[in-house]
Amino acid sequence: MDSTETKPKSFNEIINGDTPVLVDFYADWCAPCKMMTPILQQLKSAMGDKLNIIKIDTERNPDVAIKYQVRGIPNLILFKNGELIWQQAGVVRMPQLQQIIEQKLEQS
């Protein structure tokens, strides 16, 4: 293996990083989950480097979904320094989502 290659980061490495992470738990068959994609794209362009956003398919990663008690999807979880600081199931509109995230990051 070439030393310049970097292996993909694990979920734990990502959520324990310096940048807060919003995780979107979804499934391909879930219609409300599809509604979150443009909302998350707007959020990323609004917040830029202050927030990482990743999507986790609950069907392909059931162990992670079980660990964080994801029972309904879409399910959003906000991590800061590896700590879960906010979680909500269901579609959240962009202005409300940005407000919640900024508020939670200020408090933690």
* Residues recognised as catalytic: 30, 33
Report the SS3 class of residue 41: helix
List strand residue ranges (DSSP E) for 27-108, in order: 52-57, 75-80, 83-89
Structure tokens at 102: 């900024």
Contact 40, 53 (CB under 8 A): yes
Structure tokens at 92: 């959240």
Q: Taking the chain, what is the end-to-end CA distance rounded to the nearest angstrom?
A: 40
